[in-house]
Structure 1
Amino acid sequence: MHATRSFVTAYPAAAPEDVIRVYEAKLAIETDCADVQDALTSGDPDFVLLHAVGSPEAFAKRHIPGAHHLPHRTISEEALATWPSDVLFVVYCAGPHCNGADQAALKLARLGRKVKVMIGGLTGWADEGFAFA
């Protein structure tokens, strides 16, 4: 092993085609608060936004405008029956400390539904300065 100048270069950088493959896959399953907010304010979002955690009382207290409350524990074929089978769901939870959106994404995918996770959740939404309902 040859000496490197820093811990940054201690492991060689990935080949560009590997970086492309990884980030295309990552962006296929994630979106961010700013892109969700932009789509919602456009007036014609091309997805259904799901608030994937908490009680009805917590949802009523604070959620992202336009979101539907569907906690991950209640996701089922029956609960999804009101939406077309090809709709994209975007799920979020409390924030980086919460895995409710991950659990919702897994359940939706297992039910054959398209899904992305909004990274940051409510914490990210607040950090961006976006309004809550």
Structure 2
Amino acid sequence: MSSAVSRVAAASSEEALRHFEGLLRFEADCWDVHHAISNGRQDFVLLDVRSIECFTKGHVEGAESLPHPRINEAALSRYPADTLFVVYCAGPHCNGTEKAAIRLAKLGRPVKKMIGGVTGWIDEGFVLVSGTPDS
């Protein structure tokens, strides 16, 4: 008798390695982002792609506000072409990161998403700061 877990055979180790290494090309988790920021190793621009109102209520310290509908060449003109953008939104129930990542990729910009978004950040015990995008 098999369970729902084992009913479909697991991938080979080689397939699993390709898959999980591949995910890391597209994703970063809250811990890795927090570690980079708090240890002076931030080699990416962290974009909060939610609305300005949501950003103002609480965001990751050091994040820049750029709502996903506003991502365009003009908005990115101050960044070198090889700038890595890490995008986040409200959390797993939100697809703002995917919308932002699509826009960035279409503009030829390197992009990863911070999995978990604000929800994941808080769940990990990290704090949000409030303030306007210009503060």
TM-score clears 0.5? yes
Counterpart in the other structure of 1:11: 8
Displacement of 1:99: 0.5
Pick aligned residue for 2:100 from 100, 104, 115: 104
Displacement of 1:7: 2.6
Q: Mark the structure with the bigger radius of gyration.
A: 1
- Write the letter of the residue equivalent to 1:114: P
Counterpart in the other structure of 2:133: none
Q: Distance in 1 between matches of 2:6 and 2:57?
A: 47
For the pair 1:128 / 2:120, whether they are aligned, the reply is no
- Write the letter of the residue equivalent to 2:39: S
Pick aligned residue for 2:46 from 41, 45, 49: 49
- Write the letter of the residue equivalent to 1:93: C
- Determine helix, strand or coil for the equivalent of 1:123: helix
Q: Distance in 2 between matches of 1:60 and 1:123?
A: 16
For the pair 1:85 / 2:81, whether they are aligned, the reply is yes
- Determine helix, strand or coil for the equivalent of 2:25: helix
The answer for unaligned runs of 5 or more in structure 2 is: 130-135
| CA RMSD across the alignment | 1.0
The answer for unaligned runs of 5 or more in structure 1 is: none
Detail structure 1 runs of 4+ shifted over 6 Å in the superposition: none
Displacement of 1:113: 0.4
Q: Distance in 1 between matches of 2:2 and 2:33?
A: 41
Describe the shift of the 1:57–1:5 C-alpha distance in structure 2 as closer, same or farther (beyond 3 A): closer
Identity, % of aligned pairs? 53
Q: Distance in 1 between matches of 2:49 and 2:4?
A: 39
Q: Distance in 2 between matches of 1:72 and 1:114?
A: 15
Q: Distance in 1 between matches of 2:16 and 2:54?
A: 39
TM-score by length of 2: 0.91
Displacement of 1:49: 0.1
- Determine helix, strand or coil for the equivalent of 1:101: helix
Q: Distance in 2 between matches of 1:44 and 1:128?
A: 20
TM-score by length of 1: 0.92
Displacement of 1:14: 0.7
